[in-house]
Amino acid sequence: MVDNTLPRILTLQEIAEYLKTDETTISRELETGKLRGFRVGKEWRCIDEDLLAYIRGQFNRTGPSQINPKNIGINSTNMKITEIGSFDFNWPKKGGGNSIEHYEKGYEVSTNVDSQEYTFKVGFGSRRSAGIDRRRVTVWLGNRAIVEFAGSNDFENDGLLAGIIRLKNGKQLTTHKLPDEYKSFRIERYNSIVNGPRASTGMAVIVHKDDFKSMINHAIIRATWKDLIH
């Protein structure tokens, strides 16, 4: 039997009052994806289940984890971020040749995955997508592009990016039945923030532009599924 019971929806003020803090702090937690939520127009909302998950997560940080981090995608321990400046990347074209894309900001991010160090490259550029020019972030491991993120329609105000989730078979995740590896991320439909012509309706990781940890963890999962990380 289908459960049609709707969850309780909380406003920013109600969340702040419940957690005994201010709305600015809660807004920041929502924007960075630490607390899952959604927008109604420009106003944040959160359901009671996501608030409970957030509270439990805060408590769990104080004690030792009993879960193998690799199983949930949180394994960017001792992350080291180094700015490397602008660079160009040659995307191979079908049928031969290259397409050069410029990234005005670049970083190298080193992190340990099960005691082995990997260095990812993160590039910030712009590309036309879903009808408008958007912020674009690409994450590479070696010379392989692992995941990409596109800026939201309101990127200048919210700084949010969406990275499509692809399953092990390469197909986009189209339902809310998440693989275990992604259960600690903020997940929404791609076109919930990247809206426009031909925007994907698949599920995506939603991150803030400064949230390197979530970007790299998304890349770690994808690289593991591609057998680039063992």
In Å, how far are 4, 26, 98 from 45, measured between CA atoms? 20, 11, 44
- Tally of CA atoms within 13 A in the half-sphere of 72 that contains its CB: 10
CB 208 within 8 Å of CB 128 = no
Q: How far is residue 35's CA from residue 46's CA, in Å, rounded to a whole number?
A: 8
What is the residue-level pLDDT of the chain in tens, covering all 230 positions?
445 567 889 999 999 888 888 888 888 888 877 888 888 888 899 988 888 888 876 544 433 333 233 333 333 446 889 999 999 999 887 665 668 999 999 999 999 888 888 999 999 999 999 999 999 999 999 989 999 999 999 999 999 999 999 999 989 999 878 898 998 889 999 999 999 999 999 999 999 999 998 999 999 999 999 999 87
Q: What's the pLDDT score for residue 129?
A: 92
Q: What's the pLDDT score for residue 175?
A: 81
Q: Report the b/e string of 165-174 with b at 16+ CB within 10 A.
A: bbeeeeeebe
Q: Which helix (H) or strand (E) holds 50?
A: helix 48-60
Q: What's the pLDDT score for residue 57?
A: 67
Helix (H, G, I), strand (E, B) or coil at 190: helix
Nearest C-alpha neighbor of 32 from the set 152, 160, 203: 160
Q: Would you say the pTM of this structure is higher than 0.85?
A: no
Q: What's the pLDDT score for residue 71?
A: 34
Q: What's the pLDDT score for residue 24?
A: 85
